[in-house]
C-alpha cells in the first residue's frame, strides 16, 4: 500500500479527531512516520489536536517535542489540550514556557489559558489574565474570552458576579455567554437566574433547543413538573427538538455508536447482562442511582431503569466485555456526562480495573482507580 502524503494524512487525522478514533489515528501516524524523518509544523499541530481530542496526552507530548519550528498555533493547541484533559496547571506552566521561548500569544492562546483557569477553578488568576490581556499580551479581549470568564465564575458558584460581567461586557451578550450562565444555574440550582438566562437566549434564538432543554432540566431539578411540561409542550408546538444523547466507543479499530436504551448492537444481550452485573456490583459498593438526573415525572423504579441505560453506560458495557483488565476504554459523548454516569465510571474503573476516558461536549474525564481527573469539578 503506498504511503499517504501529508494532505491525505491531514484529512484522515482530522476525521479521527472528530470521532475520537484513536486506533485509526495511531495507524495513520505510524504509516506516515515510517517514510518520513520528521514531522512538519502543520502535521504536528494536526496530530497534537487528534491525540488530545482522543485523550492520549502522552502521545500528544511526544508529537509536541518532535515538531520542528513550533508556532503560536502549535503551542495553543497543546495548552488547550492539556486544559480539557484535566491538566490545567500543566497548561499554564506550558504557557509560561511559551512566553520564555519568545512566542507571543494570540487570541486563541488566551482562550486556552482562560479555559485552563476555568477547569482548575482558578478564579483570581483567570480574572487577572483577562484584565492584563490588552497591555501585557497585546490581545484585545473578545466575546469568547469573556465567555470563558463567565464559565469560570459560574463553575465556582459566583453566579451574581458572572451575571454582572455579562451585563458589562463591551459587546452585545450572545448565546454563548448566557448559555454558560444557564449551565451554571442548573449545577448550582438557581432556578430564578436560570429562567432569566434561558429567556435571554430565546430572545436571541427562539428555536434554541439547548436553552429549552436546560430550562426544563432546571425546573425538573426543583420538582416543578408543571413548568417542565409547559416547556416541553412549547417545544413540541414550535417543533424544537432536542438532539438525542449518543456515545461512541472504538474497539479494535471499529467505531460503535449507541443511543440511550439502544438494542441494535449484535451483542445487545451480553451488553445488557453486563449492565445488570454493573448495577448489582455498584449496589454492593453502596452506590444509589442518582435519579434526579431523570427529568421525567415517573416513579423511582422507572427512573432507575432509564438512567441505567444511558448511552455512555452502554458503550462502557461493550468496552468491558471486549477488553481485559488494565485496558483503556475510550468513549465520546455528544452531550455533557450526567452526574450518575460520572459516579458509575469512577467505581467501575476501580472494580473492573480499567482506565476509562470519556470525552463529553465540554472536556475529558480520565477515570482510574476510582477517581476522575476533573476531581469532580466540571
Strand arrangement, sheet containing 364-368: 254-259, 246-251, 328-333, 355-359, 364-368, 371-372
Find residue 257's DSSP bridge partners: 248
pTM: 0.84
pLDDT of 101 reads 94
Task: Quick: pLDDT tens for 247-270.
Answer: 999 898 888 999 999 999 999 999
Task: Report the distance separating Cα 226 and Cα 220, nearest Å.
Answer: 9
Which comes out higher in pLDDT, residue 7 or 92?
Answer: 92
* Cα 197 off chain centre by: 22
pLDDT of 221 reads 78
Domain parsing of the chain, residue ranges: 142-242, 246-372
Task: Quick: pLDDT tens for 12-37.
Answer: 999 999 888 898 999 989 887 887 66
Across all residues in the chain, what is the average pLDDT? 90
Superfamily of domain 142-242: Tetratricopeptide repeat domain (1.25.40.10)
Amino acid at each position: 500500500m503506498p504511503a499517504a502524503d501529508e494532505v491525505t494524512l491531514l484529512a484522515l487525522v482530522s476525521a479521527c479527531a472528530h470521532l475520537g478514533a484513536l486506533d485509526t489515528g495511531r495507524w495513520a501516524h505510524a504509516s506516515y512516520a515510517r517514510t518520513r524523518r520528521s514531522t512538519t509544523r502543520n502535521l504536528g499541530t494536526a496530530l497534537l489536536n487528534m491525540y488530545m481530542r482522543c485523550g492520549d496526552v502522552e502521545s500528544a507530548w511526544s508529537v509536541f517535542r518532535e515538531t520542528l519550528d513550533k508556532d503560536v498555533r502549535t503551542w495553543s493547541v497543546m495548552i488547550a489540550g492539556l486544559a480539557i484533559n484535566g491538566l490545567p496547571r500543566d497548561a499554564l506552566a506550558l504557557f509560561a514556557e511559551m512566553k520564555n521561548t519568545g512566542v507571543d500569544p494570540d487570541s486563541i492562546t488566551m482562550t486556552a489559558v482562560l479555559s485552563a483557569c476555568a477547569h482548575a477553578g482558578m478564579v483570581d488568576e483567570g480574572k487577572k489574565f483577562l484584565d492584563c490581556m490588552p497591555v501585557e499580551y497585546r490581545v484585545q479581549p473578545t466575546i469568547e474570552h469573556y465567555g470563558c470568564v463567565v464559565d469560570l465564575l459560574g463553575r465556582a458558584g459566583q453566579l451574581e458576579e458572572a451575571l454582572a460581567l455579562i451585563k458589562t461586557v463591551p459587546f452585545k451578550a450572545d448565546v454563548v455567554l448566557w448559555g454558560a450562565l444557564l449551565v451554571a444555574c442548573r449545577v448550582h440550582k438557581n432556578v430564578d437566574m436560570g429562567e432569566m438566562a434561558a429567556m435571554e437566549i430565546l430572545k436571541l434564538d427562539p428555536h434554541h433547543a439547548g436553552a429549552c432543554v436546560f430550562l426544563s432540566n432546571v425546573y425538573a431539578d426543583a420538582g416543578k413538573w408543571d413548568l417542565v411540561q409547559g416547556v416541553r409542550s412549547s417545544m413540541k408546538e414550535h417543533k424544537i427538538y432536542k438532539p438525542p444523547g449518543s456515545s461512541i466507543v472504538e474497539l479494535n479499530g471499529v467505531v460503535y455508536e449507541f443511543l440511550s436504551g439502544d438494542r441494535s448492537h449484535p451483542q445487545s444481550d451480553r451488553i445488557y447482562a453486563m449492565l445488570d452485573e454493573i448495577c448489582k456490583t455498584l449496589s454492593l459498593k453502596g452506590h444509589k442511582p442518582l435519579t434526579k438526573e431523570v427529568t421525567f415525572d415517573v416513579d423511582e423504579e422507572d427512573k432507575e431503569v432509564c438512567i441505567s441505560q444511558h448511552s455512555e453506560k452502554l458503550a462502557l458495557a461493550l468496552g468491558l466485555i471486549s477488553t481485559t483488565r488494565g485496558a483503556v476504554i475510550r468513549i465520546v459523548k455528544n452531550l455533557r456526562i450526567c452526574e450518575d454516569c460520572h459516579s458509575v465510571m469512577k467505581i467501575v474503573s476501580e472494580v473492573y480495573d480499567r482506565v476509562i476516558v470519556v470525552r463529553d461536549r465540554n472536556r475529558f474525564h480520565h477515570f482510574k482507580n476510582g477517581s476522575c481527573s476533573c476531581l469532580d469539578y466540571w
